[in-house]
Amino acid sequence: MALVSGCRETSGQKRVFEQLIPWNRQAAYRLRRFADWFWTKERSGNGRGELVKGGEMKSVGKLAFVSVDNAGHLPSLSQPEAVSFIVKCWVTKGMDTRCPPLEQ
């Protein structure tokens, strides 16, 4: 499962998985640190993309918590390219080498 969060709700949602809801991989999840994730924003014309920080993420087992920078309550509306990238990575199980590791 990949949980995508906009920046306004992120701190509360982080607390849910770290403290509020007990689950079998919680201890391992707490030990991991959030890491930045990046995606490539395509530029028209030259064929090269620009590397953009998408937010922060951490994962344990089949749970990946992904925050999206500069996104509000609906990240898919305010940052559609970033959300599309992370969803594609999740659906294809990271087959694209640009994908961050969503399952550890």
Q: What mean pLDDT, rounded, does the chain reach? A: 82
| Helix, strand, coil content of the chain in percent (nearest 5) | 30, 30, 40
Looking at residue 36, its pLDDT comes to 93
Evaluate if residue 50 carries a pLDDT over 60.
yes
Structure confidence by residue, pLDDT tens digits, 26-42? 899 999 999 999 988 87
We report the CATH number of the domain holding residue 9 as 3.40.50
Query: What CA–CA distance (Å, rounded) separates 75 from 54?
Result: 11
Structure confidence by residue, pLDDT tens digits, 4-27? 666 556 788 888 888 888 889 889
Domains of the chain: total: 1
Evaluate if residue 95 carries a pLDDT over 80.
no
Domain that holds residue 64: 2-91
- The answer to the question of residue 97 being in a domain is no
- The answer to the question of residue 40 being in a domain is yes
Which neighbouring-strand residues pair with 49?
42
Mean pLDDT for 37-61 is 83
